[in-house]
Amino acid sequence: MKRVPEPELMNDPVHASVYAGNDLEDAYWLFEQCYRKFFPDIEPESTILDLGCGPAGIPIRLAQRFPECTIHAVDGAPVMLEQAKIAIAEKGLEQQVHLFCGTLPKRMNLPQKRYDVILSNSFLHHLADPMVLWNELLEYGDSNTAILVIDLIRPDTEEKLSSIIDHYMADAPSLLQRDMECSLRAAFTVEEVHSQLEEAGLLQCLTVVQVSPFQFAVHGQLSFAGKEVLIDARSI
């Protein structure tokens, strides 16, 4: 199935309010479980960077799990950040989760240059150029920065796409079902993600694995070697 890109930003208030509901709890649960599995010994006490945070479902859960850490959550859609602000206030996490409006690849106005943990959930498939995300990991990461990126896998047939929607989204609002279809069409295959990591010089420190019938995870810890490979590639 050929990739069909979708808009990079969700600026519609109706979309934002639906995404702020409870229909994505399974996705947030999976992300948290993957973090526990891949980083059982990493309990951050400094600052986590979340790229493409949406309504802040994941930052809220991580803030509750790691009360000693600070989370900088970034999204390019102001309406999503409004929903995130409401959710964060409801949980009383304003001092721990800080929201920033920014887009890639433009330099984001963040208060830190480096982060110990960088996360991203269902953001890669929104990008017209996927290399933007992988290069930003090197921009904001440092040696031993923990990385967890989870996103959708594009099905190879229309039948598989329909089966995913019917099986996993049957009770979701119709708007979310339509969005899921568009997102699956815009997603990358595991093989494509592997090639992206190779191009970014990240294969020696990051691994891509399938974690559900329609999702992959990229996980690992950055190394200075990864940065050197990227710098050399840019200088050629």
CATH code: domain of residue 119: 3.40.50.150
Residue-level pLDDT at 8: 65
Question: Residue 89 pLDDT more than 50?
Answer: yes
Name the domain count of the chain.
1
Is 2 among the domain residues? Answer: no
Is the whole model's pTM more than 0.85, yes or no?
A: yes
Is 62 among the domain residues? Answer: yes
Q: Which domain covers residue 111, as residue numbers? A: 13-235
E-only strand ranges, 112-214: 117-121, 146-152, 206-212
Is 194 among the domain residues? Answer: yes
* Span 83-96, average pLDDT: 95
Residue 97 has, within 13 A of its CA and on its CB side, a CA count of 27
Is 7 among the domain residues? Answer: no
CA–CA–CA angle 49, 55, 58 (5° rounding)? 50
pLDDT, tens only, 158-201: 999 999 999 998 888 888 898 899 999 999 999 999 999 999 99
Is 1 among the domain residues? Answer: no
**Helix (H) / strand (E) containing 174:** helix 174-186
Is 5 among the domain residues? Answer: no
Question: Residue 22 pLDDT more than 70?
Answer: no
One-letter-per-residue 3-state SS of 30-95 = HHHHHHHHHCCCCCCCCEEEEECCCCCHHHHHHHHHCCCCEEEEEECCHHHHHHHHHHHHHCCCCC
Is 143 among the domain residues? Answer: yes
Is 176 among the domain residues? Answer: yes
Question: Residue 85 pLDDT more than 90?
Answer: yes
117's tokens: 């943990």
